[in-house]
A and B are shown apart, each in its own frame.
Chain A
């Protein structure tokens, strides 16, 4: 019974394609996040949702569009993929959005754009 699960684990695609990554948490948490880990291993927040509402939208190209159909799901859709989008994308959740609750991470989706 995985707490935060994201699919797919690996995603290889060509430039210009549109792809989605799905995330689900069964912890009953109110807040969900997408983080990106780039080639320099730097983990940086992209989006934060609290009860389906967007809380944080960092400086991310608008080709990236998160969607939260309910508080247990936060999907990430990426349009017109570029080489620089290659990274590992982590979904996470927390009981509150204050940052003082430890985040629970999924196992990541390694996206490779060729």
Chain B
């Protein structure tokens, strides 16, 4: 029973263009959301997060948007760079819990 879903297993984007990665969740109790980036043979590394009291959080080239009514969040990367090529995991949590629920990841390829 997957509570966090990333329905696109892969995405290819030209360098300099915008990358949009999507994530849906089912548990309405989730109030904190994170994106992780993972290179091969490495562990996931934290990228950006957003709490449910906001609908947007921006950090440099990375922006996360949260639509609570649709239970949907997205990660925008602009401009995309070849070094952004990695697998991106969406994760969600409930305040007070000790667990993060992860999606299955989207492999982003940025083409030079």
Contacts and interface: CB of A to CB of B under 8 A. Distances in A.
Contacts of A56: 98-99
A55 B98 contact: yes
A4 B43 CA distance: 10
Given A41-B105, A42-B104, A43-B89, A104 B46 contact: yes
Interface of A: 4, 9, 31, 35, 40-45, 48, 50, 55-56, 90, 92, 97-100, 102-108
B70 interface: no
A99 B100 contact: yes
Contacts, number: 63
B104 A100 contact: no
A92 B42 CA distance: 12
User: Most chain-B Cβ atoms within 10 A of its Cβ — which of A4, A42, A106?
Assistant: A42
Interface string B45-57: 1100101000000
Interface residues on B, range: 20 to 34
A54 B99 CA distance: 13
A105 B96 contact: no
B96 A98 contact: yes
| A-B interface, 7 closest residue pairs, ranked by CB to CB distance from nearest | A105-B43, A99-B93, A102-B46, A43-B102, A97-B98, A48-B98, A99-B97
B54 to A, nearest CB: 13
B84 interface: no
B62 interface: no
A42 B102 contact: yes
Contact of A90 (B34, B43, B97): B43
